[in-house]
């Protein structure tokens, strides 16, 4: 898997004239990587992810996945949004299997896949439950299972934990890091949360606002002993250095 965003700009036409949301964005994600784009509100993060998802098209530049230009949504890119986007009338299992059903995967095979991915996100016991019976964090885990069930080349995550309370958010961050390590899923995630980005990503692009431009690319390397412990890592000198640098970049 090789995702490339090449010199992408996006201009919106608004009632107050043209608005340049993204300017000359170039980035890449390789197989198995966990990459975060961090930016403040209005820096164009959602716009960028929508372009990668193929939900909208760039004004200039191109987005390429494994040599093919993105011209619309595709199963090779799985999406997880901030708002829970589960179908309320479907059970958890049916939500996870929905994409497989659309693809025409036979019922028996579908059941196997659904079981597998529910197990991956630790929700086997809730297969028959309905979304309204689950907490926010659990619903987001179902959404992740649903995206993974389609076996995308890359998982695109738009502030997936933005709507969760602090405790649930921390649990989900730890969960996602473990899931990424175990499944070797390629992930591109956008967030405004600098600490979240440093904890999760191997590489971070910092997006500054008006217009959205990439001002920095940072490789993250944290000491093995604390890298997977969200609380310990926040006191690590290296972590604090990254945080200071990114916070400074965001203020530019």
Ligand X SMILES: Nc1ncnc2c1ncn2[C@@H]1O[C@H](COP(=O)(O)OP(=O)(O)OP(=O)(O)O)[C@@H](O)[C@H]1O
Closest CB 22 distance from ligand X, rounded Å: 8
Per CB under 6 A, the list member of 18, 19, 71, 223 interacting with ligand X is: 19
Q: Using CB under 6 A, which residues numbered 173 to 202 contact ligand X?
A: 192
Per CB under 6 A, the list member of 23, 25, 43, 117 interacting with ligand X is: 43
**Piece of 11-19, 70-78, 133-141, 225-233 that binds ligand X (CB under 6 A):** 11-19
39 forms part of the interface with ligand X (CB under 6 A) = yes
Per CB under 6 A, the list member of 44, 58, 78, 160 interacting with ligand X is: 44
Closest CB 207 distance from ligand X, rounded Å: 7
Closest CB 10 distance from ligand X, rounded Å: 8
Question: Are the C-beta atoms of 153 and 65 separated by less than 8 Å?
Answer: yes
Closest CB 208 distance from ligand X, rounded Å: 11
Of 96 and 164, the one with the shorter C-beta distance to ligand X is 164
46 forms part of the interface with ligand X (CB under 6 A) = yes
CA distance 177 to 226: 13
**Piece of 30-38, 45-53, 149-157, 234-242 that binds ligand X (CB under 6 A):** 45-53
Question: Are the C-beta atoms of 59 and 83 separated by less than 8 Å?
Answer: no
To 10 degrees, what angle do helices 136-149 and 166-183 make?
A: 20
Per CB under 6 A, the list member of 45, 77, 153, 169 interacting with ligand X is: 45
Residue ranges in contact with ligand X by CB under 6 A: 12, 14, 19, 21, 39, 41-47, 192
């Amino acid at each position: 898997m090789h995702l490339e965003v090449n010199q992408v700009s996006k201009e919106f036409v608004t009632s107050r004239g043209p608005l340049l949301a993204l300017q000359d964005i170039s980035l890449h994600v390789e197989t198995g990587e966990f990459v975060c784009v961090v930016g403040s509100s209005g820096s164009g993060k959602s716009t960028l992810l929508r372009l990668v998802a193929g939900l909208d098209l760039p004004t200039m530049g191109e987005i390429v996945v494994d040599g093919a230009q993105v011209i619309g949504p595709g199963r090779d890119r799985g999406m997880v949004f901030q708002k829970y986007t589960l179908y309320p009338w479907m059970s958890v299992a049916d939500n996870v299997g929905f994409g497989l059903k659309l693809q025409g995967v036979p019922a028996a095979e579908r059941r196997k896949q659904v079981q597998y991915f529910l197990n991956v996100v630790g929700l086997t016991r809730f297969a028959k439950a309905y979304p309204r019976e689950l907490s926010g964090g659990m619903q987001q885990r179902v959404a992740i299972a649903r995206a993974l069930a389609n076996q995308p080349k890359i998982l695109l995550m738009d502030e997936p934990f933005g709507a969760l309370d602090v405790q649930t958010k921390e649990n989900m961050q730890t969960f996602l890091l473990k899931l990424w390590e175990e499944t070797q899923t390629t992930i591109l995630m956008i967030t405004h949360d600098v600490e979240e980005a440093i904890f999760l990503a191997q590489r971070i692009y910092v997006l500054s606002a008006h217009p959205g431009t990439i001002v920095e690319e940072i490789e993250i390397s944290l000491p093995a002993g604390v890298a997977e412990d969200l609380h310990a890592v926040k006191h690590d000198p290296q972590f604090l250095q990254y945080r200071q640098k990114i916070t400074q970049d965001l203020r530019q």
